[in-house]
Structure 1
Amino acid sequence: MKPATPPFRLLASVSDFTDHFGFPAPAHPLLTVIDLAQHRHPPVVGPALRQLYIIALKKNLQGRIQYGHRAYDFNEGVLAFYAPGQLCENNESIDVSELSGWMLVFHPDLLHKYPLGRKIAGYGFFSYQVHEALHLSEREEQMLESVVDVLRREHAQPIDAFSQDVLVAQLDVLLNYANRFYHRQFHTRRPAEHDLLTRFEELLRGYFAEEKEQPLPTVQYFADALHVSPAYLSDMLRTLTGQNTQQHIHQVLIEKAKVLLLGTSQSINETAYQLGFEYPQYFTRLFKSKTGLTPAAFRLSGQ
């Protein structure tokens, strides 16, 4: 019996990617830079699993782009990031007739012997959803274009002992810029982000206002309720408040625990179960790590 055909095309190398989408063959085995204005192909329909990092600046998008719960008109560049292992599928309705910009595709092996190979895992924007893309000002776009231009020229050169060092160094610069620009975006798009922050705080406090026993809420729970990715929610909260999503959850949980410990006669175990802990010892451990006291000692102190 023949093995079942996978429901998607696996793109395991840079050449797999360029071949699948009809782009020019890569000049370097681990990285390529594609000029989207020069290669406007009709979208390839069907899912593809890409084991590659992709950074794409797409310009001249028509219509409105969804950003969280709101829609905006964007004439600037829209920068998106994709990590290896993401399954993507194009839609037949995509119009590429006016598309311009660039796409940077590189294999994880390019980074393996460099600090960036570890550092890149800390960039949450590789896990953001499409509607959480980075919207660039003209000046920011020009700054990134200057870095991509170096990558474009370097990757086309004959490979020598310094090629990979130069490519990775430029990628590091580009990602540092992107990190800076995302933090700017969290601040400058204040109406949208502060609305998101307000709704998160309302959801969080509403969850712990319930008097019944219920599971501990997760970061994923709030991200799903707010229609954003967990990474985006945590990065936005950290930028605006100094605390990520999990820290906010713990903060409100400890506040509720203090009220129950001082305002009710229920046991420590009963308090833990009401707060959603399956094992009371985990509640005791978390409470002590946040307050310096065990729940029992806190109750006795009457603080």
Structure 2
Amino acid sequence: MKQPVKEFRLLESVSDFTQHFGFPSPVHPLVAVIDLEQTRHVVPQTAPALRQLYIITLKKNLKGVIQYGRGAYDFNAGVLAFYAPGQLCESNDSVDISELSGWMLVFHPDLLHKYPLGKKITSYGFFSYQVHEALHLAAREEGMLDGLVKNIRRECEQPIDGFSQDVLVSQLDVLLSYSNRFYHRQFLTRRPAEHDLLTRFEEYLTAYFAQQEEHPLPTVQHFADALHVSPAYLGDMLRVLTGQNTQQHIHQALINKAKQLLLGTSLTINETAFQLGFEYPQYFTRLFKSKTGLTPAAFRFSAQ
């Protein structure tokens, strides 16, 4: 039986967001800083909402589960989570906010359009993370971010003038830069879990290229799905621990397998390309030469 399609509310402005969730109306049209302790009286909104907004939230003592993408997250521990425009989020009806604390920073993409941060923000992988990959802050780190958010709140409360947007964007830039630093610290300090993930990734990669029959070229998404993490999280983890992102690891394994086939079989160059999953052999030749400096034919000849 076909499942009914859920209806969701489209939230296109900061005012839409605060009205939908019953939060105080924003003072600034493009930015809102919400003190979550002051929202405990609000009835939790369980209807799914698609927000065309950036949201950074530090929630503590929230009892219940928030559904996000394919996963769910319990904010009771107190972590920092990031949401990009276009991400769907919903809570279940058992969420208890009676002891909720923390803050939420909501801002519209229009705030950034004329600034370098408008492009830079897309490079922060944590905006595409699943929330079970949220940022666990040390007490000192949490204090630093609390101070930055207080500054943003104070600026929002000032009368808007020709400098308001410059000041807000510069403060937001600092907040995101610190968040990026803390994320990379997390990869280093949580080494046992991350090294286990690295080991499992390498095992999946080795097993994939050990297949003898023809198979499609593997994608970053394929391995992220197998490891139950997002592509952005997997890429950041590999970059911190190995210096290479996921695609670079895939390409290295692909070239190693290609060399085995070129030297250990009588397959033609085209047959080798098809065996590796290339639809067009010229793409295989181009990649192989870019990685080794030789065409597949020249590599085979040089080993004779």
TM-score normalized by the length of structure 1: 0.93
Deviation at 1:60, TM superposition (A): 2.4
Tell me what 1:20 maps to. 20
Tell me what 1:69 maps to. none
Q: Provide, for residues 175-217 of structure 1, a one-character-per-residue CA deviation record: whole Å limited to 9, x for no partner.
A: 0000000000001011111111100000001000011100011
Deviation at 1:7, TM superposition (A): 2.2
Structure 1 residues 23, 97: closer, same or farther in 2, change over 3 A?
Answer: same
Structure 1 residues 87, 64: closer, same or farther in 2, change over 3 A?
Answer: closer
Asked if structure 1 preserves the Cα contact closer than 8 Å seen for 2:63 and 2:95, the reply is no
Instruction: Trace 1:211-222 onto structure 2 (pairs within 5 A).
Output: 211-222=212-223
Instruction: Trace 1:122-141 onto structure 2 (pairs within 5 A).
Output: 122-141=123-142
Asked if structure 2 preserves the Cα contact closer than 8 Å seen for 1:54 and 1:83, the reply is yes
- Equivalent residues, number: 295
Q: Provide, for residues 118-153 of structure 1, a one-character-per-residue CA deviation record: whole Å limited to 9, x for no partner.
A: 100100100000100000000000010110010011
Tell me what 2:70 maps to. none
Deviation at 1:6, TM superposition (A): 8.6
Asked if structure 2 preserves the Cα contact closer than 8 Å seen for 1:76 and 1:136, the reply is no
Structure 1 residues 74, 188: closer, same or farther in 2, change over 3 A?
Answer: farther
Tell me what 1:264 maps to. 265
User: Does the residue aligned with 1:46 lie in a helix, a strand or coil?
Assistant: coil
Work out whether 1:158 is the aligned partner of 2:146: no
CA distance in 2, matches of 1:132, 1:159: 36
Asked if structure 1 preserves the Cα contact closer than 8 Å seen for 2:63 and 2:97, the reply is no
Asked if structure 2 preserves the Cα contact closer than 8 Å seen for 1:134 and 1:182, the reply is yes
Q: Provide, for residues 255-294 of structure 1, a one-character-per-residue CA deviation record: whole Å limited to 9, x for no partner.
A: 0000100111110011011101111111001000100100
Tell me what 1:48 maps to. 49
Tell me what 1:92 maps to. 93
Deviation at 1:47, TM superposition (A): 1.3
- Please tell me the residue identity of whatever aligns with 1:37: E
- Please tell me the residue identity of whatever aligns with 1:36: L
Percent sequence identity over aligned pairs: 79
CA distance in 2, matches of 1:224, 1:250: 18
Deviation at 1:98, TM superposition (A): 1.3
User: Does the residue aligned with 2:284 lie in a helix, a strand or coil?
Assistant: helix
CA distance in 1, matches of 2:166, 2:78: 28
Tell me what 2:11 maps to. 11
Deviation at 1:229, TM superposition (A): 0.5
Tell me what 1:38 maps to. 38
Asked if structure 2 preserves the Cα contact closer than 8 Å seen for 1:33 and 1:105, the reply is yes
Asked if structure 2 preserves the Cα contact closer than 8 Å seen for 1:208 and 1:256, the reply is yes
- Please tell me the residue identity of whatever aligns with 2:14: V
Deviation at 1:73, TM superposition (A): 10
Deviation at 1:228, TM superposition (A): 0.4
Structure 1 residues 90, 200: closer, same or farther in 2, change over 3 A?
Answer: same
Which of 243-252 and 52-61 deviates more?
52-61
Q: Provide, for residues 34-76 of structure 1, a one-character-per-residue CA deviation record: whole Å limited to 9, x for no partner.
A: 00011122321111110000000011245999xxxxxx99976
CA distance in 2, matches of 1:73, 1:42: 18
Instruction: Trace 1:1-303 onto structure 2 (pairs within 5 A).
Output: 7-40=7-40, 41-61=42-62, 77-302=78-303
Structure 1 residues 242, 210: closer, same or farther in 2, change over 3 A?
Answer: same
Structure 1 residues 122, 253: closer, same or farther in 2, change over 3 A?
Answer: same
CA distance in 2, matches of 1:169, 1:12: 23
Deviation at 1:77, TM superposition (A): 3.2
Asked if structure 1 preserves the Cα contact closer than 8 Å seen for 2:62 and 2:74, the reply is no
TM-score normalized by the length of structure 2: 0.93
Structure 1 residues 61, 25: closer, same or farther in 2, change over 3 A?
Answer: closer
Structure 1 residues 75, 9: closer, same or farther in 2, change over 3 A?
Answer: closer
* Alignment root-mean-square deviation, CA: 2.2
Q: Provide, for residues 85-142 of structure 1, a one-character-per-residue CA deviation record: whole Å limited to 9, x for no partner.
A: 1111111122211110000000000001111001001001000001000000000000
- Please tell me the residue identity of whatever aligns with 1:133: A
CA distance in 2, matches of 1:297, 1:42: 69
Asked if structure 1 preserves the Cα contact closer than 8 Å seen for 2:214 and 2:274, the reply is yes
Structure 1 residues 79, 164: closer, same or farther in 2, change over 3 A?
Answer: same
Asked if structure 1 preserves the Cα contact closer than 8 Å seen for 2:65 and 2:92, the reply is no
Unaligned ranges ≥5, structure 2: 67-72
CA distance in 2, matches of 1:229, 1:87: 15
